[in-house]
Structures are given as structure tokens and as C-alpha cells.
Amino acid sequence: MLFTSTEFLIFLPIVFLLYWFVFQKNLKLQNYFILAISYLFYGWWDWRCLFLVIFCSGINYLAGLKLASDKNIKSRKLVLSLSCVFSIGLLGVFKYFNFFVDNFISAFASIGIHLQARTLNIVLPVGISFYTLKALGYTIDVYKGKLEATKDMIAFFSFVGFFPQLLAGPIDRATTLLPQFYVKRTFEYHNAVEGMRQILWGFLKKIMIADKCAIYVNEIFANHETLPAGTLVLGAIYFAFQIYADFSGYSDIAIGTSRLFGFTSMQNFNVPYFSRDIAEFWRRWHISLTTWFRDYLYIPLGGNRGTKFHVVRNTFIIFLICGFWHGANWTFIMWGLINALYFLPLLLLGKNRKNTDTVAHGRILPNIKELFQMGTTFALAVFAWIFFRADSIGQAFSYIGHIFSKSLLSAPKGSGAAHILPLLLIMILLEWFQREELFATAKIGYTWPKPVRWSCYAFIIFLIGMYMQTTETPFIYFQF
Amino acid sequence: MKKFITNISLFVIFVILVYWSLIIIWGNYMPPSFNQNLNYRIGSYGHMYSRINELKKTKDVDILFLGSSHAYRGFDTRIFKNSGYRSFNLGSSGQTPIQTNILLERYLDTLNPKLIIYEVFPSTFSSDGVESSVDLIANDKIDFKTFRMAIELNNVKTYNTLLYGYYRQLFDKDKGFEEGVLKGDDRYVPGGFVEQKLVYNNAAAAKAEMIDWTPKPYQIKAFENILKLIKEKQIELILVQSPVTRIAFKKYKNNKNIDAYFSKKAEYYNFNYLVNMNDILNFYDENHLNQEGVKVFKEGVRDALYFFTFEVLCIIRVCNILCISIAVTAASAQVFGRSTLLVRQEHVRGGACV
């Protein structure tokens, strides 16, 4: 079920009312209900893939129990390894199998050996990259002793399959989200209202920004060989905003929905395009994923400790895996590699934690230096996004090649600038003035009289209804 | 919790009112380019307004034509009038089965046709039906059936146009509107046909992407309803596919499946096989006949449907001379040496009662 579908708009109020009026009596009922509606939500798309969610939950649940009861270091390591093999194995089979087979055949073909192998017609189960990391994170935490293994199967299965986060995160940690399934949720008016406001902002970003940008991005990338460089630059910039508005919009809807059910979820985006360097960008972009990789991969590999060689190696490993996590295509690996190259100088010079506060803290406008830094970081991010968006490495290089052509200084043509730029400007301004809040509209209008506030919300809903695309556009991160 | 539910309920009511008010303001004062999801065009392309107006004064026809622009641009009612049949063309732009179903539910009893010729353009079955729905909302009355259609289509453009159209109907805002007979290259002909100034198809060589015909389930459901309704009223039905350019026709990979599907449902003719058209001289774009094409098509229709329509009309209107008419039909077939394809066994089903 898509958040932007009519089914979800009907599903949400029904389950909300049932949750708070019928199943609020005790904790068990609440968890049973959460589990049932989560599986219904997921099964709506394809019930067969539900078995993978159950399998992944089951493996990690059993691993947790075994780790809790076993004190032997060797067997604990074995349990953890098995859990990793099964969880990552799911990803390997369903997401990367064809990629590896194809590349294996190509590699042999390049040295004159022609192999024949069949790729499988595998459907990529939506959300598999998210729930496997979530479940695996739990097992690793139990292994490390950061978390006690749960015996409550329903709570654990509900945690893994929690419907607002099931399809595209945030990848909340077991240490923070799982305990919320152990205590009975009570309704809080303020929390629910905030959740609604965040959902509305998420819808606005997805429908008014991401879907609008998508039209022009698709057109520009498909016809990049015939378009002037100015248009191609705009196309790349639009994609930067499309992917941000799409994914952060999804995260806002997911977090807001979680709040409606009494759960607190982690912030997934924190105005990443106001970053002053790439290190800051990565602290603000897809936070739940980057921190997951940091805690469960980068730090165990040694992090910034050890020799320069180790630091460089770890940085490349983390970025390449992060890129590959996004999809079975060389374009994503290249995107990861470029970001590693951006990040490395900062790390080696010890400047990767230079900008940990919010830009222009306590001031309305940034200074010239900050503006330049933000502009440079954004330009670097946009350049890397070209690889992320392109269908192949070849297309990405062709796109970049056409940007650096004679028409570089020409005016963009047919880029939809008149339709999109005002919307982007509004979003950027809102985010700038609320950059220290959880989401851009967190404080706007909160103290206004109710009729004015409601009129603003109604106007936003009207704008969505009047200008949304009439064909459903899935969230980009569903494919990951 | 109670406060939250109360506030949400009040807010929903508030949003509906504000939304409707803004739709009215936008519809009345904003230029069309700002109304992306509001498309209220009374007297729009296709002369639907004139057709509906004329329809209200029309009763008891012999032949009723249904379908998309292929129907209202392909079946010239004047030709049938010359042959002594009263016909009405109720085709409309991009008309999909959902709209056809509504039009039939509204007007079938009044029109009381003896024969329905329904142009089943495969694209209309794969269409979401939104553009045709807003055409119907703006040019016909809005009633419960229109709301039902909007829910079936579940598209924000249809909802917005419906809200705006309902306001205009409620306050009689379109009173006094008159649609011209001539509009651009089009001329409305009484009976629902639209004649187009002779233009030739320049895009005849355009390469089409191969696609599979994948009808939407709700369009198939509406089509089944149409068949049921027509059957209940005991009206004879012929399904036809109007000719399109060869390139446009060949773009469907599964034309045989399409033909097989429609053949199972009713008497069916695919005129892409039955008439010989020139992609440039007989069309004004890849999907639509020009006036030259209409003439060629007319001959094809006459040849293909002659016996069928003759027989049907005889059965219904002149029962007592049925046997004679069948005999005449059979005799004329022999005399003029019609192809066996056109005089298939089922065409002379009436012979069984002889």
C-alpha cells in the first residue's frame, strides 16, 4: 500500500480508530493489532513476499533468544554469523543475484570464456533492504550486550514489521523502538496533532515537489543528448530535489504516522542541502541508514582508528557498500565511490567533524563563507546524483559530457523552470527558517488562531488536490 | 482522544467547505493554465454539448452509435438518414465504457433504438477514462450516476471538475450558453456527427511503439454492464472497430486477442481488415478518418452491415413481412455476389424462423 494511495487514506483512519478505541485496553492487544495491520499493509502489495518479512523476523528472534541463553563465545559468534548469513542472504538472493550472475558472465566473456547461465525472474520485495537491516541490527545489539533479547515474539515481529517504517524506513534501532512495544501506548493529543502536521508536510513534499520534478527529470535524462547544457544542469538539480523531497517526504509521513500510534521514531533527514561540507551532508542525509552503517560496519572495521591505510580502506568500504545497498547497479557503486572521494580529504585532514552545529545558528541569514560552503557542497552532491539517477555508467558520463559542452552557458529550454522553481524556493525558504526543528512546518503557525491555522492546512490540501500528478508515482526508495 | 476526534471531524468538514470554495474561485477566476486538475470545458472539443442538447429532443431512433471520436467522426448520420433510417450518434471524445454505460442508463429508454452500433476502440478500454469523464461532467447533467462514475474512476481531476460542475449546475451558471455549429475545422451535423474539413495525415510515417492491449478491469466491468443492459432491452448490438492507420493498428501486439474477445461478446467487425484505407489520404491523424476516409468507411459499413441491419429492422419493425425480407436479403446476396465473409451464417439468423 502506498502512502499516497486512496487505500491508505481509508486504511489509516480505520486502523487509528480501532487501535485507540478497541485495542487500547491492554498492551498485548495493541501489539497483536499492530502486527496484523502491518502485515495487511504489506500484503496489500504482494502477500507472498510477506513470508520473507516473517522469515527474517523469525531468524533474528531465534538468534536473539539463543544469544541470550548461550555464554559460550564461539557458539555466540556462530549464532551471530548464521543470523547475518540468513539476513544478508535474503538480500543477496532477492536483490543482487541477477547482478552477480550478469557480471560474472560479462567478466568471463571479456577474457574469451563464454558462459551460459540463467538469471532468475525475481521480484524485488519492497522494503527488504530496510527490514533486514532493522532485524539484523537487533541481533548485533543483543550479541554486543547493548540490548536484552526479547522473549515477546509479538513485540519483536511488530517491531520488524511496523507498517509505517516497513517499506522505506526510517531504520529505527531496536534499542530505541523495541522497548516502545513493551509498554502500553497512551494517546497524547499534542503528539497526534504534531504527527498530522508532519504527515501533511510529507505529502506536500512528495506530491508538490518530488512528483513535479520527476516529470522534467525523466524527460531531461531521457533526451539529454539533444538538450543544451543549461537544461542538463537544471535536470541534475531537479533530481537532487526530487530524491530529497521524495524520500524525506516519505520519512515525514512514516514518522508522523508512527506518532499517531504513540511511537517515537528517529529523524531521518535534517536539512541536508544546508550542509557546509560533505561530512555534514552525510550526517544529515538518510540518518537512520548512515548511522546504521557507522555503528554496525564502520566502527567494527576500526573506524578512524589505526593507520591511514585502515582509515582510507574503511571509508571506501562503507561508502561502496552504502552505494551498493541502494541497488544492484554499477551506477550506485560509482555514486558511493564519488562520495568516498569527497569525504576522504576531510577525514584525513581531521575536518570531518568541523561543522556539527546548524548553519547560521542564531542568525537569520548565512554569511558569505557559509553560503559559498553550502553552494559547493550542494554542487558536489548534485554531481554525484547524476550517477545515482542514470540508467548506466555510460549514460552518466554521456550526461556529464553534454553538460561540459559548447552549450554550457546557454539558457535552459523546456525545463519546466517556471513551474518548479517557485515551488522549490518555497520549500527551501520554509526549511531554512525551520532548520533547527524536526520538520519544516513544526513551528509555523502553531500559535496562530485556530481558524487561520486550519485555513492554511486546508489551503495546502487544496494545492495538493489542484496540482498533484493524477497518475500514481511510487516512492523512489521503494526500489531499494 | 475525544478532543482529537472532535477536532479532526470538524476539520474534515472545514476542509471540504474551503476546498469547494477554492475550487469555485479557481474555476471562475484563474486562467486554465493554473487549473491543472480542474478541466471544466463546456462546449469543448467534440461538440458534446450540442449532441446532448439535441439528444434531449430526440426520441425513438432506429440506430444508435456509441463510442469515442471514432464513432462521432466515423458514422455520418446523414448517410443513414438517406437510406431511410433515423440514427443518432452519441459518441464523445475518448468515451470509455464507463461513460458509455452512464449515457445508456440515462438515454437508452428515450432513444429506444432498434440497433446499437458500438465502436470499441481498444485504447478506450485501457484508458483511465478521466478526460472523457470531465467532458461528460461539463456537457451533460450531473446526477447520482455522475458521482458514481467519479468514485469508480477515483481521480482528483474528475473530483475537482465534478465539484465545480455541480456548483455551476446548482446555481444555473451555464444558462444561455450556446455552442457554435462550426468550431475550428469541425462542423456539427444534426444527429451527432462531426464533420471535419479535409486535412491529410502528415504523421503517417511516425513509428509506433509496440504495446499489449491491457484493458482496465473497471472498464471491462462497465462494458459487461453495457452488454447486459442492451441484452435486457432486447436491442440488437454490433461491435465495430473503426479503421486507424496501419501503423496505429499494428502497434497492438495482441490484435487477435482483441478480436477474439469482442467476437465472443456480440456481432463484431474489425474494419481494419474490411476496408482498404490509405494512411495519408484517408486520415487526418493516425487515429482519425478525414472526410475522404469517412466516405470509404461508409461504403465498408454499408457493405458489411447491410444484411444485418436490414434483417434486424425487419424483425423489429415489420414482423409480418419478415420472411419476405429474409428472402430478399438472400436473393440480393446472390444477385450481387457478396463475399461469404460478409454474409455469414449468423447474419441471416432470422432465416431460422422462416
Cβ–Cβ contact A454 with B under 8 A:
yes
Nearest-Cα distance to chain B for A451, in Å, is 9
Cβ contact, residue pair B1, A458, below 8 Å: no
Spatial contact of A215 and A422, defined as CB atoms under 8 Å apart: no
Spatial contact of B249 and B289, defined as CB atoms under 8 Å apart: no
Cβ contact, residue pair B155, A470, below 8 Å: yes
Cα separation, A264 vs A267, in Å, equals 9
Give me the phi and psi of B233, to 5 degrees please. -85, 0
Cβ–Cβ contact A187 with B under 8 A:
yes
Highest mean pLDDT: which range of A97-111, A451-465, B27-41, B306-320: A451-465
Rama region for A162: left / alpha / beta (φ>0; ψ in -120 to 50; rest): beta
Give me the phi and psi of A84, to 5 degrees please. -65, -45
Spatial contact of B68 and B94, defined as CB atoms under 8 Å apart: yes
Which three cell numbers mark B133? 469523464
Helix (H, G, I), strand (E, B) or coil at A1: coil
Cβ–Cβ contact B26 with A under 8 A:
yes
Cα separation, A177 vs A264, in Å, equals 7
Percentage above 70 pLDDT, chain A: 96
Strands in B193-196's sheet, in edge-to-edge order, are B182-183, B186-189, B193-196
pLDDT value of position A475: 60
CA A184 to chain CA mean position, Å: 28
Cα separation, A60 vs A478, in Å, equals 23
More confident of the two residues A282 and B324: A282
Residue B156 has its nearest CB partner, among A187, A458, A468, at A468
Spatial contact of B113 and B142, defined as CB atoms under 8 Å apart: no
Cα separation, A158 vs A37, in Å, equals 10
Highest mean pLDDT: which range of A192-206, A346-360, B29-43, B80-94: A192-206
Cα separation, A333 vs A387, in Å, equals 9
| Burial bucket for residue A432 (CB in 10 Å: 0-12, 13-18, 19+) | middle
Q: How far apart are the first and last CA of chain B?
A: 77
Q: Which of A17-21, B133-137, B152-156, B205-209 has the lowest mean pLDDT?
A: B205-209
User: Alpha carbon of A176 to those of A138, A180, A265, A458, B277: distances in Å?
Assistant: 10, 7, 8, 35, 71
Residue A455 has its nearest CB partner, among B18, B156, B157, at B18
Cβ–Cβ contact A455 with B under 8 A:
yes
pLDDT value of position B85: 84
Cβ–Cβ contact A419 with B under 8 A:
no
Cα separation, A174 vs A138, in Å, equals 5
The pLDDT tens digits of the residues spanning B152-161 come to: 999 999 999 9
Residue A466 has its nearest CB partner, among B18, B130, B160, at B160
Cα separation, B273 vs B195, in Å, equals 24
* pLDDT higher than threshold 70 for residue B14: yes
Q: What does the DSSP assignment read for B290-311?
A: -HHHHHHHHHHHHHHHHHHHHH
Interface with B, mutate which of A470, A471, A472, A473 (most B CBs under 10 A): A470
Flag whether the ipTM exceeds 0.90. Answer: no
Secondary structure letter of residue A170 according to DSSP: -
Which three cell numbers mark A48? 507472498
Which three cell numbers mark B297? 468507411
Helix (H, G, I), strand (E, B) or coil at B211: strand
* pLDDT higher than threshold 50 for residue B353: no
> Sorting pLDDT into bands at 50, 70 and 90, what band is B186?
confident
Interface with A, mutate which of B3, B10, B11 (most A CBs under 10 A): B11
Cβ–Cβ contact B147 with A under 8 A:
no
Q: How many CA atoms lie within 13 A of A185 on its CB side?
A: 31
Kindly give the confidence (pLDDT) of every residue in chain A, 480 residues in length, as a single tens digit, with 9 standing for 90 and above: 888 888 999 999 999 999 999 988 889 999 999 999 999 999 988 888 899 999 999 999 999 999 998 888 899 999 999 999 999 898 888 877 777 777 777 777 777 777 766 655 666 677 888 999 999 999 999 999 999 999 999 999 999 999 999 888 799 999 999 999 999 999 999 999 999 999 999 999 999 899 989 999 999 999 898 888 889 999 999 999 999 999 999 999 999 999 999 999 999 999 999 999 999 999 999 999 999 999 999 999 988 888 888 889 999 999 999 999 888 889 999 999 999 999 999 988 888 888 888 888 888 899 999 999 999 999 999 999 999 999 999 999 999 999 988 777 777 776 677 778 888 999 999 999 888 888 888 777 888 899 999 999 999 999 999 888 877 566 665 555
Q: Which amino acid is at A272?
A: P
Residue B201: closest CA among B94, B72, B289, B104: B289
B68 Cβ partners below 8 Å, 6+ apart?
B91, B92, B93, B94, B95, B96, B119, B121, B123, B124, B132
Query: What are the residue ranges of helices labelled H in A145-210?
Result: 153-161, 163-166, 174-177, 189-204
- How many CB atoms sit inside 10 A of residue B58's CB? 19
> Where is A299: in which H helix or E strand?
helix A299-301
Nearest-Cα distance to chain B for A462, in Å, is 6
Task: Give catalytic residues of A, as residue numbers.
Answer: 326
Compute the average pLDDT of residues B17-23: 95
pLDDT value of position B245: 81
Q: What does the DSSP assignment read for A222-250?
A: HTGGGS-HHHHHHHHHHHHHHHHHHHHHH
Closest residue, chain A, to B32 (C-alpha): A466
Q: What does the DSSP assignment read for B53-91?
A: HHHHT----SEEEESSHHHHHH--HHHHHHTT--EEE--
Cβ contact, residue pair B159, A465, below 8 Å: yes
In SS3 terms, B10-48 reads as HHHHHHHHHHHHHHHHHHHHCCHHHCCCCCCCCCCCCCH
Cβ–Cβ contact B127 with A under 8 A:
no
Q: What does the DSSP assignment read for A338-394?
A: HHHHHHHHHHHTT-TTS--S-TTTT-SS--HHHHHHHHHHHHHHHHHHHHHHSSSHH
> Sorting pLDDT into bands at 50, 70 and 90, what band is B282?
confident
Say whether the peptide bond before residue A170 is cis (omega within 30 degrees of 0): yes
Place of cell 527529470: A217
* pLDDT higher than threshold 60 for residue B314: no
Cα separation, A419 vs A212, in Å, equals 8
Which three cell numbers mark B46? 467534440
Highest mean pLDDT: which range of A118-132, B118-132, B292-306, B324-338: B118-132
pLDDT value of position B313: 53
Using a CB-CB distance cutoff of 8 angstroms, which residues of chain B are in contact with residue A457? Answer: 11, 15
Cβ–Cβ contact A193 with B under 8 A:
yes
Using a CB-CB distance cutoff of 8 angstroms, which residues of chain A are in contact with residue B13? Answer: none
Spatial contact of A185 and A158, defined as CB atoms under 8 Å apart: no
String of b and e for B297-326 (b: at least 16 CB within 10 Å)?
bbebbeebbbbbbbbbbbbbeeeeebeebb
Interface with A, mutate which of B12, B13, B17, B18 (most A CBs under 10 A): B18
Place of cell 558511493: A336
Residue A467 has its nearest CB partner, among B23, B36, B130, at B36
* pLDDT higher than threshold 90 for residue B194: no
Which three cell numbers mark A137? 541490527
Cβ–Cβ contact A467 with B under 8 A:
yes
* pLDDT higher than threshold 50 for residue B335: no
Using a CB-CB distance cutoff of 8 angstroms, which residues of chain A are in contact with residue B129? Answer: none
Strands in B63-66's sheet, in edge-to-edge order, are B87-89, B63-66, B115-119, B236-241, B267-270
Cα separation, A96 vs B49, in Å, equals 57
- How many CB atoms sit inside 10 A of residue A308's CB? 10
Three-point CA angle B96, B98, B100, nearest 5°: 70
Place of cell 479532526: B8
pTM: 0.81
Cα separation, A347 vs A341, in Å, equals 10
Spatial contact of B138 and B93, defined as CB atoms under 8 Å apart: no
Give me the phi and psi of B246, to 5 degrees please. -60, -40
